[in-house]
Amino acid sequence: MAGSGARYRVLVSDGGPHRDTIVAGLRKVSDLETLLRAHDAMDLLHLVDDVQPDLMVLSLDRLPDGGLSLLHRLRDPGRHNSDLVIVADRPRASLVRNAARFGVLACLVPPFDATSVSERAAAWRDRARKLARLPPEELLSQRVVDDFLPAVRARPAQNRATSDSTRDQVSTVLRQHDRTMSVSDIAKRCGLSTVAAGRYLRQLVNHGEATMSVRHGRVGRPSHHYRWIGS
């Protein structure tokens, strides 16, 4: 996937009556490069590895078996793996079931307009940017994971009462530094004990506003470092 700040390549299947609406919606979103080069299923399969799109928007209505075979082929081992959005006029349950299993992010069911396409595309782009900013080895909270994998999530637990002003102070210090910070460094800047600072930092992680990583020094216990990722 393209890195943060880069342009994302979107491959749109050339067939289907909704192509112009889809393209108009995509072109409203910055940092998306729309490619119209797939005329049919076989053409698309040949192009995926060459073009290596970040996102594919596929119209399935005119394909044999409603596009089920194409979804299977797109996930063949060794093939370039991109995010998928499908378009289906009257999607059967079998299509939706297989789409979920193969990681399809959304299914557009007509009628829809360019604005609804652009809203989904912008949400996908923002998600892609956030994913690109995450260091591969960073430890994530359940809240952050649910932001990226939202299909099945538990009911939110009731938050315990906290000192909002102190937590705001901790979040402000973390937000003002474009780097990871140790618990002791944050505690010192906020005038808190490391135990208290660690408690508020864990709350920020649980709320999806910060991430925590572990650093292993030569001597002593591993140290926890935090970085702001909230808005």
pLDDT in tens, 153-186: 665 544 444 467 888 899 999 988 878 899 999 9
C-alpha–C-alpha distance, residues 114 and 137, integer Å: 38
Phi and psi at residue 120, in whole multiples of 5°? -65, -40
pTM of the model: 0.64
DSSP 139: B
pLDDT in tens, 15-24: 678 889 999 9
| In this structure, CATH architecture of domain 8-133 | 3-Layer(aba) Sandwich (3.40)
- Indicate the domain borders of the chain: 8-133, 142-228
pLDDT in tens, 120-144: 999 999 999 989 888 888 888 777 8
Q: What b/e string do you get for 38-52 counting C-beta neighbours within 10 Å, with b at 16 or more?
A: beebeebeebbeebe
149, burial (CB in 10 Å: exposed 0-12, middle 13-18, buried 19+): exposed
| In this structure, CATH architecture of domain 142-228 | Orthogonal Bundle (1.10)
